[in-house]
Amino acid sequence: MTDQVRVTIEAVPRTGLTEQRLRQAVAAHPEALAALEVADPARLTVSFAPGLGHDPGDDAPFQATVFDPVGNRAVELRGALDRPERAELRPSADRPQPSRAELQAAAAILRADPRFPAGDDVVVYRPMPPLADAENPDGTTVRRPTLGVYTPGEPTGLRHRVVAVDLVGQSVDWTPAGINVRMHHDCERSVPEGVDSLTDHGGPDQVRVRVHRGSDLLWDLLVVRPRASSPQNPGVGGGVELRDVRYRGRLLLRQAHVPILNVEYEEGTTFRDDVSFETRFSATGSDPVGWGWRLCTSAPRTILERPDTDAGNFQGVAFHHDGQELRIVSELAAGWYRYASDWRLSDNGDISPRFGFAATANPMTCLVHRHHAYWRLDFDVEGAGNDVIEQIDDTGSIIPEPVPIIRETSRRRRHPARYWQVRDKSSGRGYQIHPGPFDGTADAYGVSDLWFLRHHPRELDDGNPGPRDRAALNRFLNGESINGANVVVWYAGHYYHDQAHPQPHQGELIGPRLVLI
């Protein structure tokens, strides 16, 4: 058939400093080693440092966190990719999320502890919060990843306990201060997968995806898997990340991801969640570029579609075209939370960013809480500048009357605003941003619903400086012009979860609809 759909996937290298190159740069940077009080750079934790900005070249800027897990200290380097040894050194309070290797090493220490419960059904899983560091009398701190111990067969005692493990001291704290989730009841159905079962077998970090219908090239974009998504190093990732998104040959989005994901409980607990830790879900098909990328023959199913299990046959990013749209999906884990990071690219040019919320058996999510997901949409319609943002209000007129927004600002989704749009001032092309039916509106913790900002390469997240992990995007509002500029839109969705009194939308994906102009 002449209109047959064909999806192709090709591995593409990223521009940036490899882990090896960054480690070499640190070894040649005496100020960094002195600041961390480390003689051997081999013990430091470093990761890939991508080039920043649009179309980064060999001389693009970068920033990278260098972490010493023994001293539990970090510094940040800011420099250029072609001369990282000359990078500027800055202090950093960043503490990376525990890696899979750290969690597995901590689990081995935990199982060797004489207090570890007996039984084949005991599960050691990843809980919240991910760290429970301890302060020494001299002011230094000890890095301590947390682990959950789930004993489903325990008839009278505690089914769930959260412990802290000192990897250097090879010790377990069974009652870490500030963590009060040692309870016997479960709030979800599926038993969590143990930390030993979650492995990373490599594979490309980034691929180029093309969607052809017959001889027509509809979509051409880069997809970054969550484990490598921006922002990291520092940052907690952004889920499945899209870059350089072109429809029928025209550039529309330079970057799209979810760099901020918060949860707030009505009793006061808050978390800033990891958006880079891939976990298993169900996907059937072939792996054209190796491990972690699957072209599916049927729709992939995350924990939202399979609520009775935390298991699956795949870990990474799955693609499926249903005849009308391409779905790009991955499942993420942050402690006992499970998230679906999902994009829908329609053949007519519309884009539907989606995010879903679930959890495994745990003692927390039965308490009323709200999730807040913040998409960062870097629009580059027809190129990096000359875009305008407009608001369309419900005025009763048959013909919409766009009102330009010419300065950086934030907005709530409430009357009279109906939707917003980003257009290239010359061609008129762009996207309308229509709120999703389940996206809610911000409470005091959620801050706002949309931010309209001028693009700056380092403003990939809020740096998590706010109290109680609250999104701090208002720090970027400094009155800059966004009229005919390179613009970024932050869009927040707010998901209310009351397990005792389920809302009609529970189990639904939230997110806006981007309608092609």
Residue 156 lies in a domain: yes
Does 22 share its domain with 151?
no
Answer whether residue 46 shows pLDDT above 60: yes
Residue 102's closest CA among 118, 76, 123, 126? Answer: 126
**pLDDT > 50? residue 286:** yes
Query: 432: pLDDT confidence band, cut at 50, 70 and 90?
Result: very high
473 and 393 inside one domain: yes
Which pLDDT band holds residue 258 (cuts at 50, 70, 90)? very high
Mean pLDDT of the region 488-504: 88
Identity of the highest mean pLDDT range in 192-201, 469-478, 505-514: 469-478
Task: List the domain range (segments joined by +) for residue 82.
Answer: 12-92
Domain count, the chain: 3
State mean pLDDT over 325-353: 97
349 and 491 both lie in a single domain: yes
> Does 52 reside within a domain?
yes
pLDDT for res 186: 81
Dihedral sign computed on CA atoms, order 448, 449, 455, 461? positive
Q: Which of 153, 185, 217 is the last residue of a domain?
A: 185
Confirm if 245 and 516 have CB atoms less than 8 A apart. no
Q: What is the reported pTM?
A: 0.96
End of a domain among 46, 67, 92? 92
Please spell the DSSP secondary structure of 249-307, one letter per residue.
Answer: TEEEEEEEEEEEEEEEETTS-EEE--S--B--BB--EE-TTSTTEEEESS--B-TTT-T
- What is the average per-residue pLDDT within 97-113? 95
pLDDT of residue 155: 67
Q: What is the CA radius of gyration of the chain?
A: 23
Indicate which CATH number applies to the domain containing 38: 3.10.450
Asked whether residue 24 carries a pLDDT value surpassing 50, the answer given is yes
- Would 198 be classed as within a structural domain? no
pLDDT of residue 250: 96
Average pLDDT estimate for 31-45: 93
The pLDDT score that the predictor gives to residue 501 is 76
Residue 1 is predicted with a pLDDT of 44
pLDDT for position 54: 87
Domain end, chosen from 46, 69, 92, is at 92
